Each structure stands twice: as structure tokens, then as C-alpha cells.
Structure 1
Amino acid sequence: MDSHSTAAVFVESVFKEQRIGSSRFTWSPDVSLGWIDGRAVRRFRHDRYTTKGSIGLIAGGVRLHYGDAGDWYRRLFFGFQPVLHSGRTQALSSAYEFASTIGWQGEHFSFQIRHISNGSLHEPNRGETMLLVGVAFGL
């Protein structure tokens, strides 16, 4: 948020892919549990929404892929999830938010850029943008 970094942790589960008609697109259900730590930003300490509180969140949506199994770009994905969370901060000021993710999923690792915000449905709407590095387990 506004170049003030903090720790974030997510646990995510991606379910079986389904082809969209006869196209080369597939989708998978995707659920996430997450935690974003608070931060001490002095200029917001007296505002209605501060930056001190940590946020717990739950999200569920879809992950989209394009291409066939052997294509190099097949591991790239776009994800979209509605989000519910447990607090109000300068970055996440409503009970609901939206997460958009662009990433790469390998066999055992993933790299993602995720942005969570409420799409200006409630102010303030600073949002959280993060780089996530993950380890995958086949269950």
C-alpha cells in the first residue's frame, strides 16, 4: 500500500481444470485464505481507517489458463476472486474486495502478482498489491 511494505501469507487450493467449450481456454475453481500484516504509517494514525490492523481474508473464484498441455505459456494464468475480510484499513476499507492475480504455476513453485481492492466502491481505496512466491503440494 502506497510503497509501505508488510508481510503477507496465503494458502491456496486450485481444483481440477475444466475446458471452456471447444476453446483452448480452461478454468479452475480457486480458493484462498490469507493474512496481511498491519503497518505503522504515521500520516494515517488519526484517520477513521488506519494502517495498524492486520487483515485475515477468505476468497473464492476462478483461475484461467490458455493453451494446450505442451505449450510454454500454458503455465501462465489469470485469477479473479471476490474477497471477504476481517477488518478495515486504509488499503482495504470495505468488508468485500476483489483480488486479481497474474502468475505462473510450475510443478512445485508459483510466482504471482496480486492486487486486492474494492474497485472504488468505498473510500479510501488504496488497495494492496503484492508479489507472492509459493510452494505447491499435490494432494
Structure 2
Amino acid sequence: MSLRHLIRSTIILALATAALPAAATRFEVQAGRSYMDSHGTNAAFVEAVFAPQPLGQTRFTWSPDVSLGWIDGRHVATDSRYTTRDSVALLAAGARFHLGGTGDWYQPLFFSEQLAATNHVTYALSSHYQFVSTLGWQAKHFSVAIRHVSNGSLHRPNAGETMALVGVAFDI
């Protein structure tokens, strides 16, 4: 995927999210370490989580969730045509899910699923389209999360990136 395609995807995603209500939008700035096998590198994300909506008649809520991320490259030898040297930018959109009401102790726990587009392919992320799964906990101005980015074995190799992130958050 070229830079032009990534910019086009960003514009389309920005237009789509502009239609979402701005009230109760949560912005998170997250940073941490990402691992491909046992090889670590730095990762950073900016995430916007929009107002929660009830999921039918259940105790679950879902929120539109948009992320822009960066995973640094690393110098690891591979026996593949893919390298690990390139840094990867990714743009993701999906949903964040919570269980329970605002007073429940477990309500700050969340799970999110997103689809992502990347600007480079690497040994860990060997296609331009990825799945992003996150399990985390959020407080009013703080979050911690474990995130996995992978193409779900749609293309080989499929090492994926698994990261631990901490974030600061604010509402607009």
C-alpha cells in the first residue's frame, strides 16, 4: 500500500467519523513495547473512542473506535522475502465493547476489534490489511491494554505484533 492509499484511507475514515457524535468522545494517547516473537520495539497509538451505545437488550455496550498507530522497525534476520527493518503506520477502525453499568466494578474492562490498513509489509505484518484485537482496562484519564495485530493467517508469514500499552486519556 502506497502513502497515497494510506492518505486516501485516512481521509475516508475521517469523513466517516465526522458523522459520529462528538459528544463523549474519548481520546487516548498510548505507548509501549511491541513484540514479534521475542524481539521488541517501540509502539505508539492515538485512539478515539466515541459515545457508547447499548447492544440490543443486553448488558453490553459498544463504541465506535478509531486508531492511528506506529510500530518501529527492528533489525532481525529472517529467512523470508519480508524484513523487519521498516516501521509500520496503521489506520484502524472497529468497535470497543464493555459489559455492565457504570457502577459495576468490571465495567472499565474492555475488548475491542478493529480492521486496519498498513503502509508497509514486514515479516510480522505481511499484508496491508490486519486484524487488531485489544483487551484492556480504562479509568477516567488512564488506560492499560494488551493489543495483538495480525492478518489472521490470511497471508504467510503471520508472526504478528503483540504489545503492552499504557495510555493517558481525555474527553472532549
TM-score (norm 2): 0.78
Q: Distance in 2 between matches of 1:79 and 1:109?
A: 17
Structure 1: tracts of 5 or more residues without a match: none
Report deviation, 1:48: 1.0
Equivalent residue, structure 1, for 2:42: 7
Q: Which amino acid aligns with 2:91?
A: I
Looking at both structures, which has the greater relative contact order when contacts are Cα pairs under 8 Å and sequence separation is at least 6?
2
Partner of 2:7: none
In the alignment, structure 1 residue 83 sits paired with structure 2 residue 116:
yes
The separation in 2 between residues aligned to 1:96 and 1:32, in whole angstroms, is 14
Alpha-carbon distance between aligned partners in 1 of 2:82 and 2:164, rounded to the nearest angstrom: 24
- Corresponding position of 2:13: none
Query: Structure 1: which amino acid aligns with 2:60?
Result: F
Q: 2:55 aligns with which of 20, 29, 41?
A: 20
How far 1:22 sits from its partner (Å)?
1.9
- 1:109 aligned residue: 142
Give the secondary structure class of the aligned counterpart of 2:159. Answer: coil
Determine the C-alpha separation between the residues in 1 that align with 2:150 and 2:58: 31
Find the partner of 2:74 among 9, 34, 39: 39
Between the two proteins, what is the percent identity of the paired residues? 62
Displacement of 1:47 in angstroms is: 3.1
The structure in which a higher percent of residues are helix is 2
TM-score using structure 1 length: 0.96
Aligned to 1:55: 88
Q: Structure 1 counterpart of 2:71, which letter?
A: I
User: How far, CA to CA, are the matches of 1:47 and 1:99 in structure 2?
Assistant: 23
CA RMSD of aligned residues (A): 0.8
Q: Deviation above 4 Å: which 4+ runs of structure 1?
A: none
Query: How many pairs were matched up?
Result: 137
Partner residue, 2:27 = none
Cα offset for 1:63?
0.4
Distance 1:121 1:22 in 2: 34
